Structure 1
Amino acid sequence: MEPLPGDRVVVRYRLGAGGPDDWRAASGPNPAFERAPTLSDLTGILASATPDGLVIERDGVPEHVPAAAVTSIRQLSARVVRNSEIRAVERILTDAVAAAERAEVDGWTVSADPSSAAVRANAAVPLEFGANAAGLDRVRDWYTSRGIAARAVVPERLLRTAEASASAGAAYEVLVAPDGTPVEVPGVDRGERLRRRADGYALHHTFRLIDL
């Protein structure tokens, strides 16, 4: 998912002229490098992204990473969150959506309501500790018996998307307001993502909605 200005990110980049030095060199890596590293990582706040490169604020200091040096950029939550916090927020979002039928199958909360277009009205969510891909066969059977296409919400860190499906699925952000209220926003809706950030919402985690 495309990170936006103000997001916390980690950037992997090639070391070389025009980019930041390897932060590990100052602290003396232990054990020492066997050979000079060619890549390094930079974690901080994305200040800007242009065709020329990225500006990342690390500890209040802006660092410019040339576009040609960037090998990857990954969006991070606004703060470090525990898996239990992700499950708690996912439960709030799931409970907020009405469904004609709801049950628990091997740690997955399954919901069904053919009359609803809400994401979580017809999708399974891994809300219990220990919910994993091994339970998805029973989840799939639960939906099949009701004549409903089986889908699952797969939050980052709770389960790898590839464990559940060959399809990457649609990406969503879960943002939390200053008062703790969570909302989910489709990753493709850049305008809504920007508006929520302007209103003080911060990224808590992301998830994929996949077909089982």
Structure 2
Amino acid sequence: GQGLNIPAITGDIDGDLRPVPPTIGADEPTLVSCDAPILTAKANNVAISITGCSGSTIALTANPTGGSGCSGTWEYAWFDGTNYWNGTGFISVAEVWNTSYDNINVINVTVSTTYTAKVRCSDETSCNSESNVIVTIISAPANITAAIGDPANGLEHYIDISWDTVTGIDGYELQYSTDSLTWNTLYSGTLTSYAHNCGDNPNRV
């Protein structure tokens, strides 16, 4: 069959004069199209969006599928809307590409962020694709108070516990511990206060 006539290429790869139109054969150069992998950015193995607690570590993964025709290597970058990941944090203004950045761990995340995973061919940077994942960070209540009230019957004491409202959550879980190791749940629900019956011992929680 006939190959593509490229005026700038007058010889084939073994030095013979390339005919016009060229004949496709084992020694004729062929044009290979580069197709970038399709990315599915995930946070903690969840796509599109997740909700996390302030100060948590978020595992970001690019999850590439497919990809062909790259004469170099596939390299990755992450963008947080302001800076690029440089191996330790999102602190680089310039793009930072690395073959190992398909998986990264972001430590102590405190701000809601849309993270963008990017991939490109190192030898053909126009061969690229990207994907986003939204991480919504929720902080603990700013204030929590506890007060022991006078027993109504002279015997049973109550600790009245209340806390600030936190937006964007499904509910609250109130826990206690006597040794800072084992935690027990006192309350789980949507209210912002709880009265705990201590019996006849006001120091018992």
* TM interval, short-chain normalised: under 0.3
Give the TM-score normalised by structure 2.
0.22
Larger helix percent: 1
Give the TM-score normalised by structure 1.
0.22
**Bigger radius of gyration among the two:** 2
Larger strand percent: 2
